[in-house]
Amino acid sequence: MGFKRLLASLGAGGASVETELAEANVVPGGVVQGEVRIRGGAVDQLIEGLSVGLQGRVEIEGGDHEVKQDIEFTEVRLGGDLAIAAGALQVVPFGLEIPWETPITNIAGRPLPGMHIGVTTELEIARALDAGDLDPIQVHPLPAQQAVLDAFGELGFRFVSADLERGRIRGTRQLLPFYQEIEFCPPEQYRGLNQVELTFVTDDREMDVILEMDKKPGLFSESSDSYRAFQVGLHDFRDTDWTGYLHQWLADVGGRRNWL
């Protein structure tokens, strides 16, 4: 084995990979199109595997603190046993399906702080692995999700933050190992609430909408959480007045402080 080939087997001077997305704006259940460009290194090499996937940054509880971990939640293998000559360029097109549960990263054209979702690329070569940079995608709400988000805005709620939490929400259609929480600060009319966290768990027919409402402490009581959940059809959501529906629930929990 020559010195260049030895270095290439260790990842130095070997083939490199770069991914280019045709369109970074997607919705849950959609497809992101793109192509992977493989550039040959100093010597001829055999590509043993090529894959693309989606990755999110997830908060994981660890004792008394939380850590963030990048978790890949879907993957498509594009091929293997591909010979790449030194200095040559190979272009592999792909279409990567976006799971219905994929977290939202943009609302009304504005990115949600705390959301890191993107396409990952891995190139497998004998005794070496070249992982390309994360290519961010912008995941916009489905119309049914947007209707619920619009209702929060009409009620005067203000967006605070968003994150991904590792774990499962019992009683939902959840398949991914994490879920998204979108946190809102309530207006004065819901003075009994500290905050409201909104979660969507979606499939191709409908979605579970989960509200976690943090109640303020009262004179003789501590702060507490209250949960509500309901289902929304992806195709018949327009039949409901979501502003009135949410107000009824939120006012029942947070319209006043529980002083007793």
Rounded-to-integer distance, Cα 212 and Cα 146, Å: 19
Residues whose CB falls within 8 Å of the CB of residue 127, separated by 6 or more in sequence, listed in order: 9, 10
Residue 117 structure tokens: 């979702």
Backbone CA torsion sign across 141, 144, 150, 155:
negative
**Residue 128: its pLDDT value, please?**
58
**Residue 192: its pLDDT value, please?**
84
Main-chain dihedrals φ then ψ at residue 234, nearest 5 degrees: -70, -20
**Residue 14: its pLDDT value, please?**
72
Rounded-to-integer distance, Cα 54 and Cα 244, Å: 36
**Residue 131: its pLDDT value, please?**
63
Q: Is 169 helix (H, G, I), strand (E, B) or coil?
A: coil
13 burial level (CB within 10 Å; 0-12, 13-18, 19+):
middle
- Give which of 12, 39, 182 is closest to 110, Cα–Cα: 182
Q: How far is CA 251 from CA 34, 103, 167, 183, 191, in A?
A: 46, 27, 29, 17, 9
**Residue 109: its pLDDT value, please?**
84
pLDDT tens digits, the chain, 260 residues: what are they?
Answer: 332 333 344 344 678 889 999 999 999 999 999 999 998 888 888 888 899 999 999 998 866 777 889 999 999 999 777 888 888 999 999 999 999 999 999 998 889 988 999 999 988 876 556 666 789 999 999 999 999 999 999 999 999 999 999 999 999 999 999 999 999 999 988 888 889 999 999 999 999 999 998 875 443 334 456 889 999 999 999 999 999 999 988 888 765 544 33
**Residue 46: its pLDDT value, please?**
86
CA dihedral 2, 4, 8, 13 (to 10 degrees): -170
Q: In the chain, what's the furthest Cα-to-Cα distance? A: 81
pTM to 2 decimals? 0.85
Residue 122 DSSP symbol: E
| Owner of token pair 């947070």 | 254
- Beta bridge partners of residue 179, listed in sequence order: 165
How many CB atoms within 10 Å of residue 165?
A: 17
* CATH 3.90.1150.10 holds for 3-139: no
**Residue 130: its pLDDT value, please?**
61
For the chain, the domains span: 3-139, 143-254
36 burial level (CB within 10 Å; 0-12, 13-18, 19+):
buried
- Give which of 193, 139, 20 is closest to 91, Cα–Cα: 20
Rounded-to-integer distance, Cα 121 and Cα 133, Å: 7
- Beta bridge partners of residue 166, listed in sequence order: 178
> CB of 168 within 8 A of CB of 160?
no
How far is C-alpha 68 from the geometric centre of its chain's CA atoms?
14
